Amino acid sequence: MLNQFIGISPKSDLLLLQLLGAKLYKRSFLHINSTRTGGGVAEILQRMIPILQELGIDARWEIIEGDPVFFDITKKIHNSLQGNPEKFAKKMWQYHYEINRKNAEYLNLEADAVIIHDPQPAPLIEFKKAGLWIWRCHIDLSNPHTQVWDYLSRYIAKYDATIFSVAKFARAIPIDKFIITPSIDPISEKNRGLREEEITETLNKFQIPVDRPIILQVSRFDRFKDPVGVIKAFRIVKKYNDCILILAGSPATDDPEGEIVLKEVREYAADDPDIHILLLPPFSDKDINALQRIATVILQKSVREGFGLTVSEAMWKGKPVIGGAVGGIPLQITHGITGFLVNSIEGAAFRVRQLLNDPEMSRRIGENAREHVRKNFLITRQIRDYLSVWYSLQNKGRSILEM
């Protein structure tokens, strides 16, 4: 499997992966999260575990099981950590602990290194047997509800280290705090190269005309992704350039606001034949891939964002991306070099016009974007970083490690 990354991932990442694999050969590496399907964490673990095993590491992936009450509590924890106020009672924390205790009874927690993903399984640290335990936080902790974080951090402080996605998400706790950005898998269905006929199939399926430039945003119908703002920007652009807009996203069934936002978007689009609103069912990875590949300019006009990995997915296709200057987007887009960062509808419209009118600039930015993702946001780099954290914790206190 690792061979598939030769010629795609940076040579040095593959080399360091092998060197670290040799150092950690036959050692056991356990990952625990709360779901095997859905969401970015499960997606990456599915791809990562076989690669770790191929490196000779005894990698395992376990999930904790819980009932709807447990997941309702952990959803509340998640929301509060992202800054949304939620009411919390002590018994909720007790339930959170209790479900973890039950899971600990049957889970094999013995490993040389254990990565616990997100708050759901965080209390498992109380049942640590041996090895290095690392808490991996995938969510934006820059402005958490203080009481909730204070309670959760009692568990976190017992870990050997934490990993956050962005420096500004890291909290001041007295253990090592590593920063590892998320990544995309270049050979997955969402990102692999597509044949011409595969792209045509998607175009036909959604009846997308290809006679004009295509502006695209792929995201949930969520106010934080500002789909109405995207239409407003498109209307400004249309005064100067003939083009079409595609808004593609999942219906967000777990989000009651999703329906309302979608309705607003449809009303605002008002049957404009040049605006295509596509509701993509789950597992539409190939279609998303194809849409990104036929787009002229891709938008991610978020007004609030976690890391915003869809930006890297679009950049990987060599497209110029215009992103809101929020969350992890500025880490992916260097303004004017690998894309454009904007702070308003007018700013987004201006950059779209600029790119439509300067194909050479579009090409150059798209090329830089793909290279930036290749160097920084591929899955091989993320696996390299996980192993680096493990190895550096074994060599604690040393800031330079000669391999």
Applying CB under 8 A, the residues found at the interface with another protein are 10-13, 15-16, 19, 142-143, 164, 167-168, 170-173, 176-180, 334, 336-337, 372, 375, 384-385, 388-389, 392, 398-403
Shorter beta-carbon distance to another protein: residue 8 or 401: 401
CB of 70 to another protein, least distance (A): 30
CB of 13 to another protein, least distance (A): 8
Shorter beta-carbon distance to another protein: residue 232 or 372: 372
Shorter beta-carbon distance to another protein: residue 360 or 402: 402
The string of DSSP letters for 118-178 reads SSTTGGGGGG--SSEEEEE--S--SS--HHHHHHHHHHHTTSSEEEESSGGG----SSEEE
Instruction: Return the DSSP state at 302.
Output: -
CB of 395 to another protein, least distance (A): 9
Shorter beta-carbon distance to another protein: residue 26 or 398: 398
Pairing of strands 132-136, 113-117: parallel
CB of 7 to another protein, least distance (A): 13
Q: Which residues contact 41 (CB under 8 A, 6 or more apart)?
A: 33, 35, 117, 118, 138
CA-closest candidate to residue 326, choices 220, 226, 183: 226
CB of 386 to another protein, least distance (A): 10
Whether 176 contacts 393, CB under 8 Å: yes
Q: List 335's β-bridge partners, or say none.
A: 339
Shorter beta-carbon distance to another protein: residue 121 or 328: 328
Shorter beta-carbon distance to another protein: residue 4 or 343: 343
Q: How many angstroms separate the CA atoms of 105 and 304, rounded?
A: 39
CB of 257 to another protein, least distance (A): 23
Q: At what angle do helices 379-394 and 11-23 cross, to 10 degrees?
A: 40
